[in-house]
Structures are given as structure tokens and as C-alpha cells.
A and B are shown apart, each in its own frame.
Chain A
């Protein structure tokens, strides 16, 4: 307990420095902006702003990037509620009841309540992060290479199969990412792998070029030339219209708390995160409701629960990244890459060697969430106006920021060409309905995973059984196997049902 208090006071002193406050504000403001704008996701934006972080201090870089991540979750609900367009995928479920509320003239209440729910979720999630991280860290100290390797296997399997439509496609993407991560000089043997004789590939593929190409470019292509037809009247959202009734408060409190619980647990697990949490919270609220038919017709429980869940999950997602050095999803993987670029190794050593970084970032989350409260309630009109910015202005601007950003890292036009190549590949994969987020996760974990595999095999003198002989490692692998078995069972049952339905239909004809 004392440790946590000391940490918090250290964090306060870091987070309240002028430059950190500034980058925190930039992060949450940019996050809200991209969250509000549909078609520009948090992931692409974080990739886009990564080059900037090469030029600022490590704490500030992390504070800014995380600000984008949780800021986008606040902003995403605004577009969902007003336009029935999810600003980010995680807030898609907010459309279901948020947009009907707008049609009933209750947009103000919906915006107010999602902001409050987001804050509550984020705050409790943050408490969980600060409370659990030290304990997890103690456990992590006993981890050896075998445990890390097995944990990565679990994380990659969970991340690729739980949130994608086809498990095989998700796993294929992770594997492809792992292979791409191996490009360059192998540190152990000095062999140059997959470089095709190009000197410039010795350092590996450029992460920022890959992330921007794979995420930014396909998003741009999908959205270019889109017309925005729904213009919202920002004057209609007044202070008075935002204040929820006593009934709204009463209906929202429990869903918010339940959503936070669901989000906090799912967020800390690898591979699940905010998207699954928000959908699960919605399903739970619908099930416990006295009158489930209200859902889909503007039930305030249907926005309060999922928003709290999403934001709680975002906070607890930092737990495995910061304590174990194992990111649970693609955004966290980017965050980890940003740390590595700064020379920081995320993992058990982080809290002891650089406590000011860990605690500074944690405290900045609190400050950032308070800033978001201000940005999203009194200043909501500004964001609503931004929804009216025409897309023809926005997408060339994004293209330019991508190009200048990538070029600025090494002043290398080679890297900019790689954005083009990855952009094409990313588009191709999107057309073939492969999701690229698992690929990014694999790309970042590839070298690390190989290193732990080699070290484990060296320690065990070439025996794979070491992974199941060590209890913690074995339990990670068992969990991974369970996920795969459950999926196989679910898919077989689904096929059998479809066949039965077909036969039944054929018989009744």
C-alpha cells in the first residue's frame, strides 16, 4: 500500500510538469478529434503520430499516445450518437441506443451520460491498474523465458481468434506478422534474413511505415470521396438539454458499474479489450433489464454500460503491457514499440528501474480523463461542428501527414515507398477480409518470441517438454488450447445446426 502511495506522489510530480500536461492535452484533444471523425481510427492515428514521439521525452511520448487511445473512446461515442456512425469500432454498440435517443431529441442527455460513463469506467479501471500492477509484477519476477514464450502464445492466439470473424484468418495474420518481424539481421547469429540483399533492410522493416500503410492507407481508400450527408445542428445541444432526469441517473448507475466490471476484467486479459467488453456489457444489460424491448429504442442503460466497459477495458489493457511487456492488442503493441524506440524495455524491470515513467503515465491518465470530461461536456459544440468538416479536405491532409511523418523519422524516401507497398498489401488483405490488427501484434512480438524460444530450448537442452513441465507456463498453454478447442466446438456445432436447419427446410417443402 505504502509503495502505491509513494508511487502516486512520484507520478503526480511527473504528470504535473508543464510539458507533460501539454502533451497530455494534445493527446486527448487529438484522440477526441479522431474519435469524432468516423473512418479515422485510433490505431491509424497513433501510428501517424508515432514519428512525433521520436523527438520528445519518453514520458511525454507515452502520455500523448495513450491520450489518443482513450480520448478516441470518448469522441467515438459522439459520432455514434449523433450520426449513427461509429467513430471507432469500439463505440459501434453505442449506435444501437444512442442514435434513437438523438431522434427522440435526447442527444444532449446521451452525450452527457456517455461522457460520465466513460469517466466512471476509466477511473475505476485506472484504480484497478494502479492496484493490481504491483502484485502482477511480483508474480512476473518469477517468470523465465518459458513463461514468456507461453504467455505470448496465449496472447497471440487470444488476440487473433477472439475478435476476428474467422479464427484461421486471424491466426494466419499473426503468423504472417511474426514472419515480417523477423526481417533484418538476426541478433543471435548475425545472419541477414529476408533482406534480399538490400542493405536498408538490415534493421528490419520500418514499424511506422508498416502500421501506417496497413491501417492508414486502407482506411483512406475506403473513405475517399465519401459524402457526409447528415449535418447536425450544434445549437440544438444546449446545457439545459444535456442534464439527465432523475430517472436517467437511476437507470444508468448500475449498468455503469456492471459495465466497468466487465471491461476491467476483459481489458486485462490478452486479446479481448474494449470491443468485446462493450458488446458483452450491452448483452448483459439487455438480459437483466425488466423490459428488454426498450433496448434499441433509446434505452439509456444501453449506452451507459458499454461506454463504461469500453473505457475501463482501455485502462486495464495497460496492465499486461506495462508489467509483463506483453501487449494484449495492436494499439498496446504500438505503445510498446514506442517505448522500445525510446530505449525503454516494458516489463517487470520498468516499475523498479523507471518508476517515474510508470507512475507518471498512470497519473496522467487521471488528468487526461478529467480534461476529457471538460472537452466533452462544456465544449461538445466544438466537436459537433468538426463533424461538418468536409471529407475532401480531410483525406488529402491525412495522406500528407502520413508522408511527412514517415519521412521525418530517418529522412528516408525508402521508408515512404514502403508505406505505398504496405498500403497496397493492407488494401489487398482488407478486400480478402483479413484483419490486419493481429498482424501488427505479431510483427512487434516476433523477434521477442524467437529470443525466448531459443533461450528456453537452450535451458532445457533441446526439449520442448519444458513448456509443459513448468506449472505457470503449462497453465498459459492450457488456456490457449482451451480457447482453440472451444472455437472448434462452437464452429462444429454451428455447422451441424445449419445443416439441420437446411434439412428441416427441405423436409417441410
Chain B
């Protein structure tokens, strides 16, 4: 039973139920109106209930654990997307996805925090350095050069080319 609770589909279904109920509960706070003149709350509540019901459907039709672990190797429209995303020529996997997740998000966050303060030319290399940490094999000097190159490129395209009002330096 516990195993059943932790499959991808069960967790995903629960997430949808939670989001759906939240939308419905918040939507109840707006004017529902009548069927003839629907208020701001009618559509959100209807969609929230629908989403929760679909979440239940996801759980009930979910694949059992054994299935979820077995890799689908057949090429079908369903697996094509994943193939396009994840496999390499020799099928080797990259580094830990959590590491990539953390550094890619950190790089975006750093950009948002620093751009108003430091300007484009200093912010870009810092964000590039953070993003590059997602790859455990990255080396400092090439990353620095890449950061400077991208700072020059983005300044050229966005500020000089398109004339956007962005500070280049602090």
C-alpha cells in the first residue's frame, strides 16, 4: 500500500487534487453569480472541481510501481518527447538532475537580484558561472571567457542592436 502511495502517478494526482481544491476554495470567495450572469467565481470553481476530479482519475488509472520502473524503449509518439530530451547518442546520463536544478535556478535568481544593481556586463558572467556549476566537469577559465563573451554578445544584441534601456555597468 505504501508503495502504491509513492508512485509518480499517485503523487501527481494528489498534487492536481490539491491545486484543484485550492482553486475551488479561493474561487468560492469571488462572486459566483447566476448561470445567466456568471460572476468572477463561477469558472474558477468549476475548473477547480474538474481538476480535482481529473487528479483522482490520474491516481486510479496510474501505473503500478513495477511498471513505472520498467523503461519504455519502444519509440512511440508518447516516448518521442522524452527521447528527444533525455538520451544521448550512447545513452549516457548526465550529472545528478538535482544539482542541475539547483544551479540553473540559482543562476536565474542571481540574474534577477543583480541586474538592477550591477548592470548587464557584470551580471552575465556571474550567472554564467553559476549555471556552469551544474556541470561538474566545467573548468574556471573557459567559463570566465564564456561569461565575458556572452556579456559582450547580449550587450551588442539587446542594448546596441535593439536599443533597450538596460544599464551596462553599475
Binds B, one of A110-118, A122-130, A417-425: A417-425
A200 an interface residue at 8 Å Cβ cutoff?
no
> Cβ of A433 and Cβ of B85 under 8 Å apart?
no
Q: Which residue of A lies closest to B37 (CB)?
A: A458
A417 to chain B: which residues have CB within 8 Å?
Answer: 109, 112
A39 an interface residue at 8 Å Cβ cutoff?
yes
Q: Which residue of B lies closest to A407 (CB)?
A: B115
B16 to chain A: which residues have CB within 8 Å?
Answer: 172, 176
Q: Which residue of A lies closest to B26 (CB)?
A: A194
Question: Considering the complex, which residues of chain B in the window 51-72 have a beta carbon less than 8 Å from any beta carbon of chain A?
Answer: 51, 54-55, 57-58, 61
> Cβ of A221 and Cβ of B104 under 8 Å apart?
yes
Question: What 1/0 flags go to A78-90 for Cβ under 8 Å of B?
Answer: 0000011111111
B43 to chain A: which residues have CB within 8 Å?
Answer: 182, 450, 453-454
Question: Considering the complex, which residues of chain B in the window 91-132 have a beta carbon less than 8 Å from any beta carbon of chain A?
Answer: 92, 94-95, 97, 100-101, 103-105, 107-109, 111-113, 115-116, 120, 124, 127-128, 131-132
Question: What 1/0 flags go to B2-43 for Cβ under 8 Å of A?
Answer: 000000110111011001100100110011001111111101
A457-B88 contact in complex given A168-B54, A169-B12, A172-B54, C-beta closer than 8 Å: no
Chain B, interface SS category? helix
B140 an interface residue at 8 Å Cβ cutoff?
no
B164 an interface residue at 8 Å Cβ cutoff?
yes
In Å, the complex CA distance between A383 and B47 comes to 46
> Cβ of A182 and Cβ of B44 under 8 Å apart?
yes
A427 an interface residue at 8 Å Cβ cutoff?
yes
- Interface residue from A175, A227, A403 paired with B51 (Cβ < 8 Å): A175
A420 to chain B: which residues have CB within 8 Å?
Answer: 105, 108-109, 112
A228 an interface residue at 8 Å Cβ cutoff?
yes
B50 an interface residue at 8 Å Cβ cutoff?
yes
In Å, the complex CA distance between A383 and B8 comes to 39
In Å, the complex CA distance between A217 and B101 comes to 8
> Cβ of B108 and Cβ of A175 under 8 Å apart?
no
B105 to chain A: which residues have CB within 8 Å?
Answer: 217, 420, 423-424
In Å, the complex CA distance between A427 and B103 comes to 13
> Cβ of A176 and Cβ of B51 under 8 Å apart?
yes
Q: Which residue of B lies closest to A84 (CB)?
A: B89
> Cβ of B84 and Cβ of A189 under 8 Å apart?
no
> Cβ of B107 and Cβ of A228 under 8 Å apart?
no
B150 an interface residue at 8 Å Cβ cutoff?
yes
> Cβ of B84 and Cβ of A92 under 8 Å apart?
yes
- Number of B interface residues in the complex (CB < 8 A): 88
In Å, the complex CA distance between A491 and B61 comes to 10
Q: Which of A178, A403, A428 has the most CB of B within 10 A?
A: A403
Q: Which residue of B lies closest to A450 (CB)?
A: B43
A220 to chain B: which residues have CB within 8 Å?
Answer: 100, 104
Rounded to whole Å, the gap between the CB of A297 and the closest CB of chain B is 15
A404-B158 contact in complex given A169-B58, A191-B40, C-beta closer than 8 Å: yes
Q: Which residue of B lies closest to A397 (CB)?
A: B150
Question: What 1/0 flags go to A428-449 for Cβ under 8 Å of B?
Answer: 1101111100000000000000
A222 to chain B: which residues have CB within 8 Å?
Answer: 85-86, 94, 97, 100
Binds B, one of A6-14, A314-322, A388-396, A467-475: A388-396
> Cβ of A230 and Cβ of B83 under 8 Å apart?
no
B113 to chain A: which residues have CB within 8 Å?
Answer: 413
B101 to chain A: which residues have CB within 8 Å?
Answer: 221, 424, 427
A87 to chain B: which residues have CB within 8 Å?
Answer: 84
Q: Which residue of B lies closest to A451 (CB)?
A: B43
B146 an interface residue at 8 Å Cβ cutoff?
yes
> Cβ of A172 and Cβ of B55 under 8 Å apart?
yes
In Å, the complex CA distance between A397 and B47 comes to 38
In Å, the complex CA distance between A401 and B155 comes to 11
In Å, the complex CA distance between A73 and B109 comes to 33
A275 an interface residue at 8 Å Cβ cutoff?
yes
A96 an interface residue at 8 Å Cβ cutoff?
yes
In Å, the complex CA distance between A220 and B10 comes to 26
| Chain B interface residues toward A at CB < 8 A | 8-9, 11-13, 15-16, 19-20, 23, 26-27, 30-31, 34-41, 43-44, 47-48, 50-51, 54-55, 57-58, 61, 75-81, 83-90, 92, 94-95, 97, 100-101, 103-105, 107-109, 111-113, 115-116, 120, 124, 127-128, 131-132, 134-138, 142-143, 146-147, 150, 154, 158, 162-166
Sort A-B residue pairs by CB-CB distance and give the 7 closest, nearest first: A462-B36, A462-B35, A416-B112, A225-B135, A92-B80, A191-B40, A432-B12
Apart from A395-B131, A407-B111, 17 more pairs, CB < 8 Å = A85-B89, A86-B80, A163-B78, A166-B61, A172-B54, A189-B30, A224-B100, A224-B134, A225-B134, A225-B135, A393-B146, A396-B150, A397-B150, A404-B154, A416-B111, A453-B38, A457-B36
- 14 CB contacts below 8 A, A to B, read A41-B84, A89-B83, A93-B75, A96-B75, A169-B9, A171-B57, A193-B26, A224-B95, A224-B131, A228-B89, A400-B154, A404-B124, A404-B154, A413-B115
| Chain A interface residues toward B at CB < 8 A | 38-39, 41, 52, 55, 83-90, 92-93, 95-96, 163-166, 168-169, 171-172, 175-176, 178-179, 182, 186, 188-189, 191, 193-194, 217-230, 275-276, 279, 391-393, 395-397, 399-404, 407-408, 411, 413, 416-417, 419-420, 423-424, 427-429, 431-435, 450, 453-454, 457-458, 461-464, 491
